[in-house]
Amino acid sequence: MKKNREKHQKKAWKNGHEAKFEQMVGEYQNAKAMLDSMKVGTAEYSQHQKHCDSLFAKAERFFKQHQ
């Protein structure tokens, strides 16, 4: 009986992290699409590029941590 309960808890934990990771990836993709529509070389572009880089790094760390 104990094995069955552990299996369900592990599966639920995995599904929760997958949903969180998908949300992070979606947020990055939206920011990247906005960045692609901006003019290169402006101050706004460089600020948004830093934001995109930080979103990517955050998602990458999360993925490595919960693999």
Q: Is the pTM of this model over 0.75?
A: no
- Are 50 and 1 in contact by the 8 Å Cβ rule? The answer is no
What local confidence, expressed as pLDDT, does residue 16 receive? 77
Q: State yes or no: pLDDT of 1 exceeds 60.
A: no
Question: Which has the higher per-residue pLDDT, 10 or 41?
Answer: 41
Distance of alpha carbon 15 from alpha carbon 30, whole angstroms:
23
Distance of alpha carbon 1 from alpha carbon 11, whole angstroms:
16
What local confidence, expressed as pLDDT, does residue 54 receive? 97
What local confidence, expressed as pLDDT, does residue 67 receive? 76
